[in-house]
Structure formats: structure tokens, C-alpha cells
Chain A
Amino acid sequence: MSNGSDILDTFDGQSGESKFDPKLESRQLWGKIFAGFCIFATLLGLLVLAVLIFNVVNDGSSRLNTELFQLYPSRRPSESGYRAAILGSIAMLSYVLLLVIPLGVCSAIYLEEYAKKNWFTELIELNIYNLAGIPSIIYGLLGLGLFVRGLYSGRAVLVTGILTITLLILPPVIVISREAIRAVPQSIRQASYGVGATKWQTIRHHVLPAALPGILTAVIISTSRGIGETAPIVVLGAGTVLFDPKASPINFGALFSGKIGDVFTDTLWSNDNFFSVLPYQIYEWVGDPKAEFQILASAGIVVLLVLVLGMNLIAIFLRSRAK
């Protein structure tokens, strides 16, 4: 320490000539101000979220009752509810999960475990990265051109919505699932190969179970985004509907009564299976000039937020348990 203080003494001895000025007090003050700003910035977003939630619950509380789930849309706000939209969202959620889990996980497995490093793999990777960044409304145009006009000759039915949302959330599911698979230690694979397992057996019995929490997190977070999407549904041309969506893949009634010919009538695939989803119905009512419809919209938002933030919480819980 004596050496150090000697140096400091020398500095002091040259007072007037030295330009060295630590300005410690003002620097530490700026440091505190900066730290305060960083904490403020971190909390600001959360504050906005809190105000938002308080605001919609406050606005919509008078309509948050069971009628909201029982009534179909109507021209009179007091007789309107979200029944068709909520059932539509639930049906869409189920089918999107059914499609996106196998497609997303298989793609991720291929890219992580099978693909050799060549131009073709790089092309697929770059492509998935770019797809993940394309605005959701473009997927709406894709669904309009490909599914609504191609498959159902201009009718925006539930199937077209399911396929569009599936394609929309597939890229992020692949990207995050790959990370989960990559995080599985190489030693687990080598141990499995060591006892003579094939590549698929190794993946099926060892890699996938280990990566499962990460994959589920990816699927749940992405699907919750997909369920909250309005723009692509608007572009498809979905509208307000006054009946329950047909969500059954085959007509069980016809199957058991022996009318095999009618197995696919009145099912998910029917071309009169028009649909609405929760965010779309909210959008319709937000835009309505009547104040009662705004209240109805905020009640719908509460339901949507419970669904979406609930799924997010499940995902966060899964991720924290995995670590």
C-alpha cells in the first residue's frame, strides 16, 4: 500500500499541473441516476401491463358473467356474448396444437439430429429464420390465396383458419424446439449408441424425453400467440357468426347410425363451417361506436388475457421446473 500512496502523493505534489481529476462524487451520482433509469425502464413495461389489466377489468367488470359465454353476437349489446368466438378459439387451439406439435418437433429433430451441414440445410435454416420474422398479416394473405380460395373456393371456414395459424406459428416452434434439443448433452446420445440403439431409438427414448420441457414451452408460448392473432383471421375474411363451430372431425352420429355416406357432412371439413375467434370478435366490437360494445369488448379482452397469459404462465412454470 505504501507504494500506492507514494504514487498518489506524487500526483498531489504536482497539483496544478496534473489534469487527473477523478470527480468521483459526480460520477457516482450519475451512476446512481443511470441505475435508477435502468430499473425504471425495466419496471415501466410491467407497469403498463398492470395498468392495462386493471383498466380492462375495470371497464369490462359489468359484463363479466356467464351470459358472456352463453350468448351469440347480436345487434343489441345487452344480448351479445362470445359463445361462438370462444368455442371457435378453443377448437382452433386444439387443432393447431394437434398439427404444430408433430410438424414442429419433427422439423426440429431433422435439423438438429439428421441434417448434414450443407447448402440445403443452410437454406432451410435461413428460410425458417426469415419466416419467423414475416408479419402475421402476410400469413393471412397466404391463407386467403391458398386455403380460402384454393381449398374452399372463397369461403373462410374453420379449417382455413387452423391451417393459416399453424403455418404462422410453425417457424418459432421449430426455432425454440431446436434449442431444447441442442441442450441435451451429447453424452446421453453416445451412451445410447453405445448399447447398440439406432439413431431413431436414441432420439425417441433419450433425446426427446430430455428435451420435452423445452419443447412444450416453445409450443405453448407460440400457440398462445397464435390464439391471440387477429390480423390473419381478418384477412381470411372470417366474420361474426351466430352458431357453434363444427369441431368434430367426423360425424359420429352418422357413423353409428350406419349412414356411412354422411360421415363427413356437418363436420370440421364442411364448407359451411364459418367461424369466429375471440380476438376477431373483440376487434369487431372495439370498432363499434356504441359505448356498450366497448364494455363488451373489454369483457372479451379479460377472457382472452386469462387464456393467453395463463398459457404463458404454464410455459414459464414448465421451464422453471426443468432447470
Chain B
Amino acid sequence: MSNSVNSPEPDSLDIYQRSDRNIRENAIGYALLFCAFISVLTTLAIVYVLASETISFFSKASITEFLFGKTLENGSYSCSWTPQFAEKSFCVWPTVNGTMMVALIAMIVATPLGLATAIYLSEYATPKLGKFLRPVIELLAGVPTVVYGYFALTFITPLLNKIIPGLQGFNALSAGLIMGVMIIPTIASISTDAMIAVPRSLREAAYGLGSTKKEVSTNVVLPAALSGICAAIILGISRAVGETMIVAIAAGQRPILTLDPRQTVGTMTAYIAQVAKGDSRVGSVEYEALFAVGMTLFLITLLLNIISKQISKRFQETYE
């Protein structure tokens, strides 16, 4: 290109209008746009694949049974999830129940630990130590979930078995505890960013009134960063709901309506993994049930992600 700049054309300004350069620049622009558009196509494809099979599923199974259960001939209410059995039943709540219970246990672990980690990183640790610790903590999220599942099954469950009577070999508790550890970095990372964004002046005002570091952290920084923290927690819930391998390995694959964390449960994701692993015929109702559960999971996590995004948008606007 250098020769075109040096060329002794009288009106050298028109190098900016040189057509070959323009054509190439435009072509590159469109090629880049196409790459960015692939993500939009991905979303459309996900919605199309899930929706088409789900519609086909609901032409065979009743949507009211899926959502509300059914009343049996003898008048009793029934809600169970048994698409692979001869006696098929399609009430999604037992799988949602398992998902929510494991996610709840995970959040009970991850929320206080994640927030305390964030407070340590943003308030207590020196910047140098913080820069070292953050990526190390993020390694926790980098461990493959099949490894966490193995750890929950072969280490945590036998350990808990000594303390808790009646604990099943596959149970919601140990899966939830380990899932909580997996989610700590998600909550810690976003909360740390939110806390660092709190203006120094707020802290200095509180110290000026004689507050201790703990009081500044919990009474000033924590409330000021609350929207960011909420966004982090909701994103953590979304991660917990969508996690598959920990629950498929350690929580079991039996969807029942129970609130007892010692029991074997079955989550939405574990059901998908279990049925996909077996050879269910394409077009059979249990195959399509896979996509109906997937659609439910997709909608739940999408909703959680949108709420999280909206909340975090608000906190970014406040301090920038």
C-alpha cells in the first residue's frame, strides 16, 4: 500500500476513495459480520430443534399433565415422570423438584462462601495477592464436572455416610455440596467486580466515622454492591440448574417428589443424559420427552440469565 501513498497524484486525498481498497475493506467487514451472525444462527437452531420436537411431544402427551399432573381413574392425584416405563406418565415436577433441591443445597454452600471470598479479594487482600488468588480460585470452575461427580460419589458420600444416618448411595446432599464448590468462582468473580466498583469515598466516609473494616465491608460495601451480588447469585442458580454430570453421577436418576436431601433424586439434566445414553428410537415419545425437558430447562435458564443481566446493567449504570 505504501506506493499508493507515495504516488505523485495531484489530488492525493482520493487514496481514501480508491475502489480496490474499499472493496476489500467492505468485504472484510461483511465477512466479520457473518462470523458474528453465527451466534444468532446458533440461537435460532437451538430454538428450532427444541421447539419442533417439543411440539411433536405435546401432540402425543398432554400439556396439562406435563405441567399439573393428572387425576387417576380412582380419583387420586398423580404426578410422576416415567416416560421410559410401559406405564408412561409425563408430569415434569419430580425432575424439577430434584433440580431445585440440588440447586438450593448448592446455593446454600456457594452464596456465603462466594461472598466471603469476594469480600476478602476486594477488601482485605492486597492488590498483588488478589491478582494472584483470583485466577487460582477460577481454577475451581475449570475442573471438569465429571471429576466433581466422581469426587462427590467416591469421597463426599462415604464421608457423609459416617455422620448422617439414612443417607443413600446416590443422594441430593453430596451432589449439592460439591456443586456449591463448583459455583463459588461464579459468585465470587462477579461479586468482586461489583465490590471493586463501589467508590472509595463511601468506604472513607465510613472509616471516618470510626467503623471497623468488617463494618465497612458488611454495612457499606455489601449493600452498595447488592445489585451486582444479586446478579451473581441468580447466575449461580442458573449454573446449578443446568449442571449435568455431578447430578447424573452422584445424585442418582430417580425423579421423585421429595424434600429429603438424603434421598436419591433425578434432575432434568440427569434425565436428559440418562435417556440420551440409552437407545431410544427417534420419534418415540420418550425421545421427544428429552427435548420437552430440554425446552423447559432452556426457558428456566434463559429467564434467570435475562434477570441477572438486567440487574447487573443497573449496577453498572449507578457507578459509571
Mark A residues whose CB is within 8 Å of B: 22, 27-28, 30-31, 34-35, 37-42, 44-46, 48-49, 51-52, 55-56, 59, 102-103, 106-107, 109-111, 114-115, 123-124, 126-131, 133-142, 144-146, 149, 154, 167, 170-171, 174, 196-201, 221, 224-225, 228-231, 234-237, 279, 282-283, 286-287, 294, 297-298, 301, 304-305, 308-309, 312, 316, 319
Within the assembled complex, what's the spacing in Å between the Cα atoms of A229 and B146?
8
Contact B155 A51 (CB under 8 A): yes
Using known A-B contacts A129-B305, A228-B145, determine if residue A141 contacts B39 with beta carbons closer than 8 Å: no
Interface centre among B212, B298, B308 (most CB of A within 10 A): B212
A286 (CB) vs chain B CBs: closest residue: B150
Contact across chains for B150 and A282 when beta carbons are under 8 A apart: yes
Q: Which of A44, A135, A298 contacts B242 (CB 8 A)?
A: A135
Q: A56-B147, A141-B291, A309-B139 are in contact. Are A170 and B39 (CB under 8 A)?
A: yes
Binary contact track B3-44/A, C-beta < 8 Å → 1, others 0: 001000000000100000100110011011101111110110
Select B150's contact among A34, A49, A297, beta carbons within 8 Å.
A297
CA distance A309 to B140 in the complex (A): 10
With a cutoff of 8 Å between Cβ atoms, the chain A residues found around residue B153 in the complex are 286
A interface SS class: helix
Q: What is the bound-complex CA distance between A4 and B29, given in angstroms? A: 67
Q: Which residues of B contact A (CB under 8 A)?
A: 1, 5, 15, 21, 24-25, 28-29, 31-33, 35-40, 42-43, 45-46, 48-50, 52-53, 112-114, 116-117, 119-121, 124, 133, 135-137, 139-140, 142-151, 153-155, 181, 184-185, 210, 212-215, 217-218, 235, 238, 241-245, 248-249, 269, 272-273, 276-277, 282, 290-291, 294, 297-298, 301-302, 304-306, 308-309
A150 to nearest B CB, angstroms? 9
The reply to whether A110 and B147 form a contact with Cβ atoms under 8 Å apart is no
Q: Verify B25–A135 contact, CB threshold 8 A.
A: no
Residue from A38, A134, A312 within 8 A of B302 (CB atoms) = A134
8 A-B pairs with C-beta separation under 8 A: A31-B213, A34-B214, A35-B124, A110-B32, A128-B39, A133-B305, A135-B243, A312-B139
Supposing A135-B241, A136-B244, A282-B146 touch, asked if A287 and B282 sit within 8 A by C-beta, the answer is no
- Given A31-B213, A39-B124, A128-B39, A135–B301 Cβ distance below 8 Å? yes
Q: Which residues of B contact A231 (CB under 8 A)?
A: 145, 244-245, 248, 269, 273
